[in-house]
Amino acid sequence: MDFKGMLNERKNEIEKLIDCYFAGANAPQKTILDAMNYSLNAGGKRLRPILVLEACKLVNGKKELANDFACSIEMIHTYSLIHDDLPAMDDDDLRRGKPTNHKVYGEGMAVLAGDGLLNYAYEKMIHASLKYPEYAEQSLKAMKEIATGAGIYGMIGGQVVDLESENKSVDLETVDFIHKHKTASLIIASMRSGAILGGADDKELNLITEYAEKIGLAFQIIDDILDIVGDQEKLGKDIGSDQENEKSTYPSLLGLDESRAIARRLIQESKDAISYFGDKAEFLIELSDFLASRDH
Amino acid sequence: MDFKGMLNERKNEIEKLIDCYFAGANAPQKTILDAMNYSLNAGGKRLRPILVLEACKLVNGKKELANDFACSIEMIHTYSLIHDDLPAMDDDDLRRGKPTNHKVYGEGMAVLAGDGLLNYAYEKMIHASLKYPEYAEQSLKAMKEIATGAGIYGMIGGQVVDLESENKSVDLETVDFIHKHKTASLIIASMRSGAILGGADDKELNLITEYAEKIGLAFQIIDDILDIVGDQEKLGKDIGSDQENEKSTYPSLLGLDESRAIARRLIQESKDAISYFGDKAEFLIELSDFLASRDH
């Protein structure tokens, strides 16, 4: 299979959907539409929306319904990056090789652009749910996964503990909590919502969840590793920033070799879980390997 | 009727519901729970949740379903205040006589506490919708009103234009846009969602919407007037701040007398619209007069 080609195809599909969300607006609130559009279309791997659609496909679900949920998760991911980059948070000037949202539109507008993306994600999901009333309960259940995964007991909870751990060394349990909540939580919600929209049974949902948990944690450990050994140009952001901030990470606590071994094991376990789906899981198995080998 | 007593009873009912949302938490994300709780329980008129429940009651709707929606709107209102008070926005130190969220918890945490409240509002509404699956479509329609009213084409849109109008004089059309979006939009969404949850027919929904539009705009004009003539202690915030910021308002553009006359007319029109409901509208009619006569 031509994995890279398929990955690109899926990425383009998502970008075509979100491209028209806030484009060409001539409204009084034009600035926020531009600001939201700027960050939403600033590139990125589109991993989360791809996972929504892939999980839905894996259980032979209805793709039309999942499309809006996929884009909504990308909006939630994007809002979290905009707020994370703010001076009061990580204070980053670059994101994916471009100036961060507040550098272009100012801090106040960046706060509102993040708020706007989070809220619009729900608008889109609610709208999609009303378009297919025969799936109303499934849609509400999928939305529940996303809301929980994105909220204070999920992603935001991870951001809080991350913010409080700045400039001090914390133990592996805390680093683990941050990774599982700040990153893995929304990745798990992506796949669970796609599977629920697709009508997965309990066994299917459990295996898809296991796959998501493993790649979600591996993804963040690999991110920490890349922050030390990565190539600044390829990453599109400052490397070594974790070290500068004296941030505790998997490599800083366990060393590079041990961290790499853990990531490898998680990747293998993700593939074991998803192999239940046979040929249909081919793309996700390749995706695991791809995430393990990425250099940005 | 003892209006003040009834108003207080409704206020206490709401406060009893939200009081336990984030209390007594002993979790890794304790700080954000405290921060959310701090602003959510900092007082306020609880106007929006009262309007949700009142609109639902007006059409003989099911109160249990509306309760969570009412509290969710209060969370959305509270998040918007937290973000509005940030240094990058209005830069306010006081809100309802207490230090603003970022003054107590820091800017980064205040951003996250706002995000957390917005997201939790949707969690609550989704949860309530799943609890009563027989009302799934009505719930989704009510959620749509709230999401639209709170979003970039509603409240956030008003905040954007407000932010861009700072320190410059704008025309009445722009002031009107800001009032209608920043304030009235969520008040309208409160009543429409309550009415939809209650099963209102088209005529009922239209009249309830008209009432909400009129009091929503009147409410903000009266706020502008109080900013000039109000008593600092009663308001619990700095008065004259609009003048200091050279902010265009109804009184600054039309004078106090003309602004008062417009507010009075809007209040009368709100009462005319809602009188269709006869005795059941008594509380809302008194509420209109109360809003017109308030001094804080």
Residue B27, both tokens: 């979790």
B118 neighbourhood in chain A, CB within 8 Å? 115, 118-119
So what's the pLDDT on residue B62?
A: 82
B29: nearest CB among A83, A115, A161: A161
Total domains in chain A come to: 1
Residue B97, both tokens: 């006589």
A123: nearest CB among B106, B114, B148: B148
Please report, for the domain that includes residue B24, its CATH number: 1.10.600.10
B140: nearest CB among A79, A129, A152: A129
Look up the domain containing A236 and give its range. 3-293
Residues 6+ apart with CB under 8 A from B170: B248
So what's the pLDDT on residue B63?
A: 83
So what's the pLDDT on residue B294?
A: 79
Span B99-123, average pLDDT: 98
So what's the pLDDT on residue B236?
A: 60
B148 neighbourhood in chain A, CB within 8 Å? 123
**Residue B232 pLDDT greater than 60, yes or no:** no
Nearest one of B75, B8, B64 to B42, comparing CA atoms: B75
Q: How far apart are CA B283 and CA B52, in angstroms?
A: 13
Residue B57, both tokens: 């009651």
Between residues B162 and B26, which one has the greater pLDDT? B162
So what's the pLDDT on residue A151?
A: 98
pLDDT, tens digit, for every residue of B51-84? 999 999 999 998 888 999 999 999 999 999 999 9
pLDDT tens per residue across all 296 residues of chain A: 799 999 999 999 999 999 888 876 678 999 999 999 999 999 889 999 999 999 999 999 988 889 999 999 999 999 999 999 999 999 999 998 999 999 999 999 999 999 999 999 999 999 999 999 999 999 999 999 999 999 999 999 999 999 999 888 899 999 999 999 999 999 999 999 999 999 999 999 999 999 999 999 999 999 999 988 876 555 565 566 666 667 889 999 999 999 999 999 999 999 999 999 999 999 999 999 999 987 66
Q: In the Cβ-directed half-sphere of B76, how many Cα atoms lie within 13 Å?
A: 36
So what's the pLDDT on residue B4?
A: 95
Question: Is A5 in contact with A288 (CB distance < 8 Å)?
Answer: no
pLDDT, tens digit, for every residue of B178-226? 999 999 999 999 999 999 999 999 999 999 999 999 999 999 999 999 9
Q: Which of A118, A152, A193 to mutate to test the interface with B (most CBs of B within 10 A)?
A: A152
Chain A: give the shortest CA distance to residue B164, in Å. Answer: 9
Secondary structure of B116-159 in HEC code, one letter for each residue: HHHHHHHHHHHHHHHHCHHHHHHHHHHHHHHHHHHCCCCHHHHH
3-state secondary structure of A94: strand
Q: How far apart are CA B241 and CA B239, in angstroms?
A: 5
So what's the pLDDT on residue A197?
A: 97
ipTM of the shown complex: 0.95
So what's the pLDDT on residue B255?
A: 93
A126: nearest CB among B31, B110, B147: B147
So what's the pLDDT on residue B166?
A: 86
Between residues B231 and B267, which one has the greater pLDDT? B267
CB B108 to CB A143 under 8 A? no
Residues 6+ apart with CB under 8 A from A11: A45, A46, A50
B110 neighbourhood in chain A, CB within 8 Å? 88
CB B126 to CB A147 under 8 A? yes
So what's the pLDDT on residue B233?
A: 56
φ and ψ of B266, to 5 deg = -60, -40
Span B289-294, average pLDDT: 90
Share above pLDDT 70 across residues of chain B, in percent, rounded to a whole number: 93
CB A143 to CB B122 under 8 A? yes
A152 neighbourhood in chain B, CB within 8 Å? 29, 32-33, 36, 116, 119-120
So what's the pLDDT on residue A240?
A: 64
So what's the pLDDT on residue B245?
A: 63
For strands A98-99 and A94-95, give the pairing.
Answer: antiparallel
Residue B257, both tokens: 């007398």
Span B244-268, average pLDDT: 90
Q: List, in sequence order, every residue forming a beta bridge with A281; answer none if it has no partner.
A: none
B130: nearest CB among A89, A144, A159: A144
So what's the pLDDT on residue A235?
A: 58
Q: List, in sequence order, every residue forming a beta bridge with B99; answer none if it has no partner.
A: B94
Grade residue B234 by pLDDT with cuts at 50, 70 and 90: low
Grade residue B228 by pLDDT with cuts at 50, 70 and 90: confident
3-state secondary structure of A97: coil
